[in-house]
Amino acid sequence: MKQHIADLINTALTTLIEDGTLPADTQPKIMVENTRDKSHGDFASNIALTLAKAARTNPRELSQKICAALPASDNVEKTEIAGPGFINFFVSDASTGNLIKVILQEKHNYGRNSDGAGRKVQVEFVSANPTGPLHIGHGRGAAVGDCLCRLMDANGWDVTREFYYNDAGQQINNLALSVQARCKGLNPDHESWPADGYRGDYIVELAESFMRGDTVKSADQSFTGTKDADDLDGIRHFAVAYLRHEQDLDLKAFGVNFDVYFLESSLYTEGKVEAAVKTLIDNGFTYEDGGALWLRTTDFGDDKDRVMRKTDGGYTYFVPDVAYHLDKWQRGFDTVINEQGADHHSTITRVRAGLQALQAEIPKGWPDYVLHQMVTVMRGGEEVKISKRAGSYLTLRDLIDEVGQDATRYFLAARKSDSHLNFDIDLARSESADNPVYYIQYAHARVCSIFRKLAENDLQWDETIGIDALGHLELEAEKRLVVNLGRYPEIVKRAAANRAPNQVANYLYELASDFHTFYNSEKTLVEDTDLRNARLTLAVAVRQVLANGLDLLGVSAPELM
RNA sequence: GCGCCCGUAGCUCAAUGGAUAGAGCACUCGCCUUCUAAGCGAGCGGUUGCAGGUUCGACCCCUGCCGGGCGCGCCA
């Protein structure tokens, strides 16, 4: 509809250019917007405001000329000029009929588009170190990342979900030492407890499992505990497999599935780290100082140079990171989005600098990043304190067990990822209209409920009558619903373009709200056959869009609540 | 000190550079017992942190402050 109106305006502008009202070199950027206020019609364009200067006239006068030059359209009932020179468009009944028809025909495809044209996008998210269970911050990453994937898919992209495991390096050593200490019966208060050891209770369980000789399986490896507390290497492998398995379970409970689990260790075993280092050296961006090898990241906007190879010979974490992203590039992804916690913000400049220094013709701003801020958990009006050091943990699985998958996903995805998030457990658990997830899902269930009632009354929905009778929908609430249903495809585009799943959540809340208002104000199952079928048809369209949108969030659309 | 993010109603949050900045909760006042619910409706509530700038038009873009969060390792 927006495009249609833009086309009408474009035709009008062409006419005005021909008759000399507008200069021949006019390059109009036609913008058509949804109106907020119903009295401003259904759509509005600011075109006269932007072109008034070029036309050497005032916006209102120009808008009158544009309106006069607009070609007739079945979809437009009338136009009005308002305010400083906005042109307001009122859509016709024919247009709403067309929209509802499209929704009923396209069903779960309504709102999807092929803008991505099958191009490859990779989204890397969660990427938690296998040193402990997933906490709520990972949960936010999982929810936002997975919704982004669903959004990109809805926009016609070929999506790969990827999880990067830091299974090499110092943190894994710490983990192994911590487990070993537990295997030997030490606790964190003991004098020979490892300096930066992990203190959580899960380490105890892990050690017990190792000493029992359990076999643990993760996505692509399995390992059996050797029961030997001195076998540090065995403990390391076992611990990583064990915790990866735990994380797999957490993610499964959250309904998040990855296509690729990429192991940091593979970058070493396959020589990709060494190859990247060699290229960086050959390209002349490195130097030795103080026994370490440095990368001149300041050549690419960093505020100081970074150590690549430590004096102990090991590489710092960002070297395999660079090798990893080169690998992503070579795998042919047009777009790569890294979803991660904002506390890792400083890696962005480093990774991009490293990629530039490789001189592999990788674009400067590549890859994309979506960062999420911290999550505060509230229960009973008080903050639930999470201390990693003390080992007190609110894990993602705890949260899912307590409030359910749907509410957890919704709450974690419904806020702008740039902002800190307040997770109110009591609200997420409540089964009332105060809870936005419940409220949206209930709108969906309510449509289903109307149809159950319809069957009880031995009546049937006649879609053909309904569509023909859509002109009977004259109430404010009904028209609002129709207009909002029409907005959905644009929401899908915008949310993906802005990398902002929360915009889907906001939209759904508004749509649900409009539906509840409609439901509360008018009976659907009225005597009048035409009106009844028209309302049922509208309700089906609403249910469809709610279901489509909830699917983008990974939240279920129940038929009965 | 430097970098990034945030600052909108009492609280939690919305708002493609557009018209009178919107919801929910809380509060106040009404209504109601229903196609699925103790629900529905209305009202109250704002100098969009402050000060400039760009623009026909700024919560949004730019600059400088103030306040909060995160990061500033040869940890990841």
Q: What is the pLDDT of residues A280-296, one digit of tens each?
A: 999 999 999 999 999 99
- Mean pLDDT confidence for A66-87: 85
Mean pLDDT of chain A: 90
User: What are the strands, taking DSSP E only, across A187-259?
Assistant: 215-218, 221-224
User: What are the strands, taking DSSP E only, across A302-427?
Assistant: 306-309, 335-341, 368-372, 375-379, 382-383, 421-424
CATH 3.30.1360.70 residue spans of chain A: 2-91
pLDDT at A391: 52
A524 touches strand B (CB under 7 A): yes
CA distance A441 to A408: 14
CA distance A245 to A263: 14
Q: Where residue A272 falls among pLDDT bands split at 50, 70, 90? A: very high
pLDDT at A417: 94
pLDDT at A65: 86
A446 touches strand B (CB under 7 A): yes
Choose between A174 and A3: higher pLDDT: A174
pLDDT at A24: 78
Give the count of alpha carbons within 13 A of A222, CB side only. 5
Q: How far is the CA of A419 from the C1' of B3 (A)?
A: 18
CA distance A509 to A416: 15
Q: Residues with Cβ < 8 Å from A176, sequence gap 6 or more?
A: A232, A235, A236, A239
A298 touches strand B (CB under 7 A): no
Angstrom distances, CA of residue A489 to CA of A114, A280, A313, A486, A543: 11, 45, 54, 7, 15
pLDDT at A387: 57
Domain A2-91 CATH class label: alpha beta
**CATH ID of A97-114+432-553, from 3.30.70.2740, 3.20.20.140, 1.10.730.10, 3.40.50.720:** 1.10.730.10
- What sign has the CA pseudo-torsion A169, A175, A177, A183? negative
Q: How far is the CA of A434 from the C1' of B38 (A)?
A: 13
* Residue range A188-221, pLDDT digits in tens: 888 888 888 888 888 999 999 999 999 998 766 7
Give the count of alpha carbons within 13 A of A345, CB side only. 7
B39 closest protein residue (CA to C1'): A520
pLDDT at A450: 93
CA distance A370 to A354: 19
Task: Tokens for A495, please give them.
Answer: 């949310």
> What are the φ/ψ torsions at residue A122 (nearest 5 degrees)?
-115, 135
Choose between A472 and A389: higher pLDDT: A472
Choose between A489 and A4: higher pLDDT: A489
pLDDT above 60 (res A441): yes
Walk across the sheet containing A368-372 and list its strands. Answer: A260-263, A158-165, A120-124, A335-341, A368-372
Q: Which nucleotides of B are covered by protein (CB under 7 A)?
A: 2-7, 12-16, 18-20, 22-25, 35-37, 39-41, 56-57, 69-76
Q: How far is the CA of A546 from the C1' of B29 (A)?
A: 34
C-alpha A213 chain-centroid distance: 41
B74 closest protein residue (CA to C1'): A310
Q: Residues with Cβ < 8 Å from A112, sequence gap 6 or more?
A: A106, A154, A155, A156, A492
A252 touches strand B (CB under 7 A): no
CATH 1.10.730.10 residue spans of chain A: 97-114+432-553
Q: Where residue A388 falls among pLDDT bands split at 50, 70, 90? A: low
Q: Where residue A171 falls among pLDDT bands split at 50, 70, 90? A: confident
B11 closest protein residue (CA to C1'): A381
Task: Tokens for A173, please give them.
Answer: 């050593």
Helix axis angle, A529-553 relative to A136-154, nearest 10°?
Answer: 120
Q: How far is the CA of A486 from the C1' of B8 (A)?
A: 28
- Mean pLDDT confidence for A329-341: 95
What ranges in A284-340 are assigned the alpha helix state H?
318-330
B38 closest protein residue (CA to C1'): A432
CA distance A558 to A561: 7
pLDDT at A498: 94
A411 touches strand B (CB under 7 A): no
Q: Residues with Cβ < 8 Å from A377, sequence gap 6 or more?
A: A136, A383, A384, A386, A394, A399, A423, A425
CA distance A141 to A250: 13
Q: Where residue A113 falls among pLDDT bands split at 50, 70, 90? A: very high
A303 touches strand B (CB under 7 A): yes
CA distance A236 to A246: 15
The closest of A206, A213, A177, A170 to A192, measured between CA atoms, is A177
A422 touches strand B (CB under 7 A): yes
A33 touches strand B (CB under 7 A): yes
A475 touches strand B (CB under 7 A): no
Dihedral (Cα; A112, A115, A120, A123), 10-degree rounding: -60
Contact A292, A309 (CB under 8 A): yes
Choose between A237 and A2: higher pLDDT: A237
CA distance A321 to A317: 6
Contact A276, A308 (CB under 8 A): no
Q: How far is the CA of A36 from the C1' of B71 (A)?
A: 40
Residue type (1 letter), A330: Q
Give the count of alpha carbons within 13 A of A231, CB side only. 14
Nucleotide nearest to A309 (CA to C1'): B74
Give the count of alpha carbons within 13 A of A264, CB side only. 22
Angstrom distances, CA of residue A48 to CA of A9, A90, A357, A452: 10, 18, 48, 51
* Residue range A451-502, pLDDT digits in tens: 999 988 889 999 999 999 998 888 888 888 998 999 999 999 999 999 999 9
A278 touches strand B (CB under 7 A): no
- Mean pLDDT confidence for A91-95: 82
Choose between A53 and A141: higher pLDDT: A141
Task: Tokens for A324, please give them.
Answer: 């990893």
Question: Tokens 């209102």 — which residue?
Answer: A60
Q: Residues with Cβ < 8 Å from A336, sequence gap 6 or more?
A: A121, A122, A123, A124, A325, A328, A329, A366, A367, A368
pLDDT at A219: 67
Q: Where residue A507 falls among pLDDT bands split at 50, 70, 90? A: very high
- What sign has the CA pseudo-torsion A400, A403, A409, A415? negative
The closest of A373, A340, A412, A398 to A126, measured between CA atoms, is A340
CA distance A202 to A362: 42
Contact A178, A158 (CB under 8 A): no
β-strands A306-309, A292-295 pairing: antiparallel
- Mean pLDDT confidence for A99-117: 95
